[in-house]
Amino acid sequence: MGVITQLDLTPPPSLPPPLGQVVAEYWIEGATAAAYPVTAGQYIQIVDVNGCQCSDLVVFTGDRHTEELDATVTRTLNGLSMPVAGLHGKYFSQQMQPLLEVIQDTCNRHDQFLLACTARYYEDLGYPGHPSCSDNFNQVLRPYGIAPRPGWSAINFFYNTAVDREGAIAGTESWSRPGDYVLLQAQRDLLCASSSCADDIDPVNGWQPTPILVRIYEAQENFPLAIGRRASATAPVRLTQPSAFTARIQQLTHNLVEYNGYWVPNSFTNRGIQAEYWALRAGAVLIDLSALRKFDVIGADAFSLLQFSFSRDLNKLKVGQSAYGCLLTPHGGIVDDGIVFCLSATHYRYVGNCDSDGEWLERVAGQSGFNVEIQPCSDRLHNLAIQGPLSRQILRSLTQFDPSFAPSTIDDLPYFHFATATIATIPVLISRTGYTGELGYELFIHPQHGAALWDALMAAGAPVGLQPMGMLALDRARIEAGLLAAGREFDDLTSPYQAGIGWAVALKKPDFIGKAALEKIRAHPPTVTVGLVLDGNEVATGGQCVHPIAERWRAGTITSATFSPILNRSIAIAQLVPAYAELGTVLEVGWVDGIKRRVNATVGSLAAYDPTKSRVRA
């Protein structure tokens, strides 16, 4: 029988400090359960004390607890296998009423496909009489007049399940670490029951059930929405953060999503992806790209470290110049793509996508004995991109360049050059770079100036229709421009020659990470990246297969796709075996199961829009 006690023990070292004023606390010993009431607005924090321990949750509301949380309704209304903090973060009842909202989650791996563990499960595996979460729920819910069930449909927090391609639901060791938690807010008065899962006959709880702690906080608390991520095995959990511009953005849209640890806009209220896209192509837009990660590389060997780990030859890079390329693995895979800025002979800055880039550079420096310091500076450098053919015009009257840099006006700043300056008296680093295929600039500032910079630019740009742009339109623009996205076009198993940026590999450099492997791959890359123009108007999705005409076997895979408004065509980026990558080759994109229906597609340049890059260089 479950043992419920008010917590009066010294918390173990892994126990995270309370998030606010705790009004009730429930310590659930391993393999037991507890029922507890929660009033509307209160917060429920479910803490995995020792890590690797699942905690199932059942929730009731209404008269005599007749309305209950429904996992299928929840999946359906959210369009997600599990709610996540943000727009699609609510758990619903069978009456489609919200019961709980996810406020914070530091684990991000849970289950709501399976029942809480049942006596039947253990019986079938040769353990008749074994305690189960469902039986434990039956016991703690009996005093509330809730009839027992052989198996309870539950939200199984910290339970690691996945559905494989054949449809099998596999459950294995939990992702959760000591102190990981889920913070929920009750949308109505609720009766809840939480378990510490009793399963000790397989790895889901690490073979040993351990305690779960439930804390209740008052409705007056104001906990921010956040998703916890870890950049590496040793990194602490990092909660989603606002950028320097989020406060302004939230005045213009509620459609924010978590991207790379920041809240970013998908699109803007009453504007939408079309208006934002066309503003980019015909006017100018502002894009919050603060989620990029920045690292200062400082020291006598700063150049040597980057020359050794970055794909481009930085020998010719002068102060005020930057270069796009990638960090490489020894086997020639792409660790990350990014831009190196030369601030001085002993000071470079790498701007990429991943927190782990810094750790990688540290490790390379240590192994190679480079005298260099890697300083993460993402927290003090947030960046706003102003992109579009009118971006220069908007900046012209606002910008005063630092005399120590060559350009005296914005018109003198060449492509892939940067300078320090002020915009409306705000100190900025202006870089003539972007991710849109249009003329544009990226403005790096201290976060304290974020609102002021946003306001100054929006005011200056208003006469020419400057608009904010969200990630949906940005993705469309970058696919048109043939620009790569991490996780779509490349990862650490993809070489630059496969990803379409072979031009960014300086094989003539005497030595750099991955050189030997890349020399071989260059001659015979297993795949190359191309653009496709599809017949018809359907838009493909990443992962769809590309076939030679009338063949069952594959010639490649689509990595990204969109409908190009300016070309009025369905386009895609694909990775193909070289034999089918010649310009003009006609192939088939498999739809549905890949063989039921095919749509012709013609191989084109990687950038379907402005392939000569005339617009970014204008």
Which residues contact other proteins by CB under 8 A? 87, 253-256, 266-267, 269-275, 278, 536-539, 563, 565, 568
Kindly state the smallest distance separating residue 537's Cβ from other proteins, in Å: 5
User: Which CB sits closer to other proteins, 270 or 397?
Assistant: 270
- 314 vs 601, beta carbon nearer other proteins: 601
Q: Are 192 and 38 spatial neighbours (Cβ–Cβ below 8 Å)?
A: yes
Name the residue nearer to other proteins (CB basis): 90 or 130.
Answer: 90
CA distances, 320 to each of 111, 345, 417, 432 (Å): 50, 11, 6, 11
Query: Residue 427: CB partners within 8 Å, gap ≥ 6?
Result: 420, 421, 445, 446, 449
**How many residues are present in the chain?**
618
Backbone angles phi, psi at 395, to 5 degrees: -75, -25
Per DSSP, what are the bridge partners of residue 229? 238
- For the record, the structure tokens of 583 come out as 């310009």
Q: Looking at residue 615, what DSSP letter applies? A: T
Q: Minimum distance from CB of 61 to other proteins (Å)?
A: 16
Q: Which 3 state secondary structure label does DSSP give 535? A: coil
CB of 614 to other proteins, least distance (A): 23
Nearer Cβ to other proteins (223/563): 563
When the beta carbons of 175 and 563 are compared against other proteins, the nearer one is 563
Q: How far is the CB of 278 from other proteins (least distance, A)?
A: 6
- Minimum CB–partner distance for residue 269 and other proteins (Å): 6
Residue recorded with tokens 């892939």: 416
Measured from the CB of residue 567, what is the shortest distance to other proteins in angstroms?
A: 11
Q: How far apart are CA 191 and CA 217, in angstroms?
A: 15
- CB of 538: closest distance to other proteins in angstroms? 5
Q: How far apart are CA 63 and CA 69, in angstroms?
A: 14
Min CB(540)–other proteins separation in Å:
12
DSSP 136-200: HHHHHHGGGTPPP-SS-B-EEET-EEEE-TT--EEEES----TT-EEEEEESS-EEEEEE-----
Residue whose CB is less far from other proteins, 253 or 260: 253
3-state secondary structure of 78: helix
Q: Closer CB to other proteins, residue 273 or residue 384?
A: 273
Nearer to other proteins, 193 or 279 (CB): 279
Q: Is 439 helix (H, G, I), strand (E, B) or coil?
A: coil
Scan for tokens 């005093």, then name that residue. 143
